[in-house]
Structure 1
Amino acid sequence: MIHYFATVARGLELIAAQELESLGAREVRPDFTGVHFVGDYALMYRVNLWARTIFRVLVTLHEFPCSNADVLYREVQKIPWEQYLKPHHTLAVNSTGGNRQLNHTHFTALQVKNAIIDQQRDQFGQRSSIDTQQPDILVNTHIHQERCVLSLDSSGTSLHRRGYRPAMGLAPLKETLAAALLDLADWEPSKPFLDPFCGSGTIPLEASLKALNIAPGLFRNHFGFESWPDFDKHLWQQLLREAKNSQISELKAPIVGSDRDPDILEQARLNAQQCEVAEQVRFKQTELSQLEVPAEEGIIICNPPYGERLGNTQELGDLYKLLGDVLKQRFKGWTAFVLTGNKELAKRVGLKASRRFPVYNGSIPCTLLKYELY
């Protein structure tokens, strides 16, 4: 069994742990901004292909006490790197965390890189080139207090970059967070879904991918593990075939996104085409005051502007009040979830939240507010 660590956004560790268990991971253990788990290579491929809420899948190579740069260099040299990369492979080293002696991530990454290429020179008389953009092998170094964990990054670019979204709005939500909001809201594909501030469509699109059982990794053109010496192309092709064959052709309930801005809705429609759900998800240009109920009951999830990047606070206060009024008057029988990073604005909704979920939108601490509308 191989030990893995999935990196996730702060606050979403438990959601990601549940998702990993559903994909077959074992010994699942949430940690700060990540989840430990074990499994075979097929699981690593499957998680990269199917996971909706995680950023990266790291394969643990070596964990050791590490107090300074000399110890780091020595320990990195103990690893038989020829198993993981040959001199013709390109290499990059990413470093996070630190301690008193190793307090600069760039220096730490340099030490690791030097230890690897020095070993290659001794063994082969040649070394890997460095490619920071799209390396064949991406080594991850994480230092916390006096311990260091060295891993291989099996994902390459972050998994939130699904590959279907060339068009983004002004304040785009990461796809991983959108997927996690659907989980926090206990949304099921049998329930009608509405996002009245859909922007470039991230939440409705993630809802449609989930409802149609479309693996988010199908839209990416490359994963890190595809460049590894032991890449099992036959197994990977089999998993891709299974994913394509398990797709559902039609939604069980409507998924609707609306926004007042026609240009941004064009972006949403373009993104829907890219992920092949344009015939399924509906995007409508609507002022919030004109919002219509698409079904007798359902789930609303929205991410209205909260002053970090868009709009000004006075105007936004009026918008939140209008949102509360529209929900109260027209959406009886529905459950609404509003993501906001501004407590004062949240008060203007004028409804009592039945639950509050703390989450982070990037570095912004936010709250997902649940309103049961009677």
Structure 2
Amino acid sequence: MSETYFATVARGLEEIAAKELGLLGATEVKPTFTGVYFQGNQELFYRVNLWSRIIFRILVPIQKIESHNEIQLYKNVYKIDWSRYLQTHQTFLVNCTGSNQNLNHTHFTALKIKNAIVNQQTERFNTRSNINVKSPDIIINAHINNNHCILSLDSSGRSLHRRGYRSAMGIAPLKETLAAALLDIADWDGSIPFLDPMCGSGVLPVEAALKGLNIAPGLYQNKFSFQNWLDFDSTTYSKIVEEAKNEQLSQLKAPIFGSDQDIDVLKQAFTNIAACGLDKDIKLNQIRLEEIEPPADKGIIICNPPYGKRIGNSRQLTALYKSLGNVLKQRFKGWNAYILTANKELSKQIGLRTSRRIPIYNGSLPCTLLKYELY
């Protein structure tokens, strides 16, 4: 039986996520602002949670109710049979987004929904579920839009961008989902060498290795929220997990390299790489940008240098961007390079002509992914 689901994604990655969903077998894929609607059966939405590299969460809509104000919201939430989704011994959490004229505080709206649910439980069963903020069994998502509230079950639990391998992070970390999206935008399929010359805590090399080895990122998750649902099919899920494990490659088609001049952040990269068992697949080096040499005669570079927004000062970074341009021009002929930046003035210091300029967001920060074809 096919159902409609909603995948939440970072701003600007909607079309990339839609393409990924199509490749995973989803139908009726329709991107919208910071999300994608799609259809599929239960097996498909298990598979999306396990395999998606771009999506944050998969929401399963329960009901759309009128909610002009708190009284109407409470009454309509109370009318829903919550025993279909939540048992009294299970803990839960309500997350709320959006607002209207009368419901303009997400915490207050979530509290009203919570009260309606536990009051229904108390009246029917003389007991109620407890709230668990850190690790609830069931997560209910409420989105207020105009005078309606869309209530959904969050099937993912912890955001899918939190793969589970990343215990050490730098000062301004790149989200795993954005790193994976950059690889897709660059059309890197694992067949040519990959290099991040400013790898920081290692997220780009790790995501490249996961893609290159065809490892489902969801395998690093301890548990998805849907595994607590009443209709959870453990046989189907176990089959999907086993298939994912069998589809992994034993070795990379081409090598993956990462380097950084800061030994402290490089130690973080070593920690993260070891946490996902990729220490034999990714080659890390401590080396200054000015001293780096191409590890192969052709390949792809993707890096996320400081922008001067959160790290450092833009004047101090001018020399870094000039050095990056010089190294690319002088030593990396035959390679393609992708540089993510939010600073137009700094990007000019690279001194190379771009073959493509792709607008993208890093969180709420508007950035540009610059492509350089090096000949």
Give the TM-score range, shorter chain. Answer: over 0.9
Structure 1 CA distance, aligned partners of 2:322 and 2:191? 30
* Structure 1 residue 369, shift from structure 2 partner: 0.9
Equivalent position of 2:126 in the other structure = 125
Q: Residues 25-40 of structure 1 correspond to what in structure 2 (within 5 A)?
A: 25-40=26-41
TM-score where L is the length of structure 1: 0.98
Give the 3-state SS of the residue equivalent to 1:173 in structure 2: coil
Equivalent position of 2:196 in the other structure = 195
Structure 1 CA distance, aligned partners of 2:351 and 2:145? 44
Match for 1:217: what amino acid?
A: G
Match for 1:95: what amino acid?
A: C
Contact kept in structure 1, 2:318 and 2:349, CA below 8 Å: yes
Match for 1:47: what amino acid?
A: V
* Structure 1 residue 309, shift from structure 2 partner: 2.0
Structure 2 CA distance, aligned partners of 1:138 and 1:185? 35
* Structure 1 residue 59, shift from structure 2 partner: 0.4
Partner deviation per Cα, 1:248-300 (whole Å, 9 max, x = no partner): 01111111011001222122122111111111111111111111111121111
Do structure 1's residue 24 and structure 2's residue 25 form an aligned pair?
yes
Give the 3-state SS of the residue equivalent to 1:85 in structure 2: coil
Give the 3-state SS of the residue equivalent to 2:4 in structure 1: strand
Give the 3-state SS of the residue equivalent to 2:347 in structure 1: helix
Give the 3-state SS of the residue equivalent to 1:121 in structure 2: helix
Give the 3-state SS of the residue equivalent to 1:57 in structure 2: strand
Structure 1 CA distance, aligned partners of 2:113 and 2:356? 46
Match for 1:77: what amino acid?
A: Y
Unmatched segments (≥5 aa) in structure 2: none
Structure 2 CA distance, aligned partners of 1:245 and 1:137? 30
Match for 1:12: what amino acid?
A: L
Equivalent position of 1:277 in the other structure = 278
* Structure 1 residue 197, shift from structure 2 partner: 0.6
Do structure 1's residue 305 and structure 2's residue 288 form an aligned pair?
no
Equivalent position of 2:106 in the other structure = 105
Do structure 1's residue 5 and structure 2's residue 6 form an aligned pair?
yes
Q: Residues 223-234 of structure 1 correspond to what in structure 2 (within 5 A)?
A: 223-234=224-235
Equivalent position of 1:330 in the other structure = 331
- Aligned pairs, number: 374
Equivalent position of 1:260 in the other structure = 261
Equivalent position of 1:73 in the other structure = 74
Equivalent position of 2:246 in the other structure = 245
Equivalent position of 2:59 in the other structure = 58
Contact kept in structure 1, 2:78 and 2:116, CA below 8 Å: yes
Structure 2 CA distance, aligned partners of 1:358 and 1:111? 40
* Structure 1 residue 120, shift from structure 2 partner: 1.0
Farther-moved stretch of structure 1 (75-84 vs 155-164):
75-84
* Structure 1 residue 313, shift from structure 2 partner: 1.4
Give the 3-state SS of the residue equivalent to 1:73 in structure 2: helix
Partner deviation per Cα, 1:172-223 (whole Å, 9 max, x = no partner): 1110000000001111110111101101110010000001010101111111
Structure 2 CA distance, aligned partners of 1:317 and 1:212? 37
Do structure 1's residue 351 and structure 2's residue 345 form an aligned pair?
no
Structure 2 CA distance, aligned partners of 1:207 and 1:147? 41
RMSD between aligned residues: 1.1
Structure 2 CA distance, aligned partners of 1:351 and 1:32? 33
Equivalent position of 1:149 in the other structure = 150
Farther-moved stretch of structure 1 (344-353 vs 206-215):
344-353
Give the 3-state SS of the residue equivalent to 1:258 in structure 2: strand
Unmatched segments (≥5 aa) in structure 1: none
* Structure 1 residue 334, shift from structure 2 partner: 1.1
Structure 2 CA distance, aligned partners of 1:8 and 1:369? 22
* Structure 1 residue 65, shift from structure 2 partner: 3.8
Match for 1:247: what amino acid?
A: Q
Equivalent position of 1:46 in the other structure = 47
Give the 3-state SS of the residue equivalent to 1:235 in structure 2: helix
* Structure 1 residue 71, shift from structure 2 partner: 2.2
Equivalent position of 2:293 in the other structure = 292
Equivalent position of 1:368 in the other structure = 369
Farther-moved stretch of structure 1 (346-355 vs 248-257):
346-355
Structure 2 CA distance, aligned partners of 1:193 and 1:79? 52
Partner deviation per Cα, 1:292-335 (whole Å, 9 max, x = no partner): 11112111100001112212211201100111111111111111
Match for 1:333: what amino acid?
A: G
Contact kept in structure 1, 2:17 and 2:54, CA below 8 Å: yes
Structure 2 CA distance, aligned partners of 1:358 and 1:123? 53
Identity across matched positions, percent:
61
* Structure 1 residue 162, shift from structure 2 partner: 0.4
Contact kept in structure 1, 2:66 and 2:76, CA below 8 Å: no
Match for 1:176: what amino acid?
A: T
* Structure 1 residue 66, shift from structure 2 partner: 2.9
Give the 3-state SS of the residue equivalent to 1:210 in structure 2: helix
Give the 3-state SS of the residue equivalent to 1:242 in structure 2: helix
Contact kept in structure 1, 2:11 and 2:34, CA below 8 Å: yes
Partner deviation per Cα, 1:17-70 (whole Å, 9 max, x = no partner): 011111111111001001001111111111111100010010011123432222
* Structure 1 residue 339, shift from structure 2 partner: 0.5
Equivalent position of 2:319 in the other structure = 318
Contact kept in structure 1, 2:70 and 2:109, CA below 8 Å: yes
